[in-house]
Copies of this chain bind each other. A is one copy, B any other.
């Protein structure tokens, strides 16, 4: 198994990316193709203690980098030798089984779409992310690949999400909910109403509409929404958690007693922090493109990269692409039918 890793993408590239690669190959049987500037990457790889590890991290040269704030379309046109482009090309050419990046999400999406194409029958890919909850991880998709969706897109997201959750996360017959503003079938906007009908007709374990708070409940495994809603919800959650954290810190500052108390409570809360840590779940798969493409958060450090490489490995092991291909109804859908 060989995974192409964009070594130049992300806030902590290349140091943390390389560290993540080294940790991954030390733990699991895989080779990482580290794509980026050789002069930067070589010394980092050589820091790895074991020669066995060093053998499994192969540098593939790419001279350019696409920055977070570049327009993906323009950047892809101009930077033919960008790390994400080269990494994706390795998958297309069969040199790698999957691509992982913590760089610009837009550039990775564009590069995956152009380089790998879409799975026949999938009109739009979706970014699927795990939301950590007291009842385990829930898969939310789309969290930002598209700013609009039609009912048939939501149906395709539901099918892909089910397959992913079953194969990669080991949930049998995942329960799929449609994110909506009420549980009744008559609730929601036009797209939600249309999607509800489609979801009922298809071979999915569809449990009906779920509301925002149900994402944290025990009754659903896969939550489907358009990328506009999903992206806003995801970032709202990030903002809320970090607001709570900064408020706790601020309040504790004023009380010595409370500081001691918090110190005493910390070890017990570490388990919770681990359960809530996005990094534990690794990256978010871009489902629907014709190859395994895992998107990492821009702020990913070594642990997140290591886990994303594991997610990539499992996606390949579990043949996620062919499973999606075989389970998509209406394979006749053509690219521009909408």
Contact = CB atoms under 8 A, between A and B. Distances in A.
B181 A144 contact: yes
A240 B144 CA distance: 20
B251 A268 contact: yes
- Chain A binding surface SS class: helix
B272 A248 contact: yes
B133 A243 contact: yes
Interface stretch (A7-15, A22-30, A156-164, A224-232): A224-232
A39 interface: no
B264 A189 contact: no
Nearest to A190: B148
Given A147-B188, A228-B181, A239 B263 contact: no
Contacts of A147: 181, 187-189, 192
A207 interface: no
Question: How many A residues touch the partner, as a band?
Answer: 35 or more
B231 A229 contact: no
8 contacts: A134-B246, A181-B227, A212-B232, A212-B239, A213-B236, A229-B232, A251-B268, A258-B264
Given A211-B235, A236-B212, A238-B213, A257 B248 contact: no
Interface stretch (A76-84, A214-222, A280-288): A214-222
Copies of this chain present: 2
A330 interface: no
Nearest to A144: B181
Interface in A268-286: 268-269, 271-272, 275-276
A129 to B, nearest CB: 13
Contacts of A240: 216, 237, 240-241
Contact of A213 (B215, B216, B235, B261): B235
Interface string A245-271: 011101110110111111111111101
Residue from A187, A211, A263 whose CB has the most chain B CB atoms within 10 Å: A211
The 5 closest A-B CB pairs, nearest first, are: A261-B264, A213-B239, A212-B235, A258-B268, A212-B236
Interface in A180-214: 180-181, 187-190, 192, 211-214
Interface in A124-158: 133-134, 144, 147-148
A74 to B, nearest CB: 13
A41 interface: no
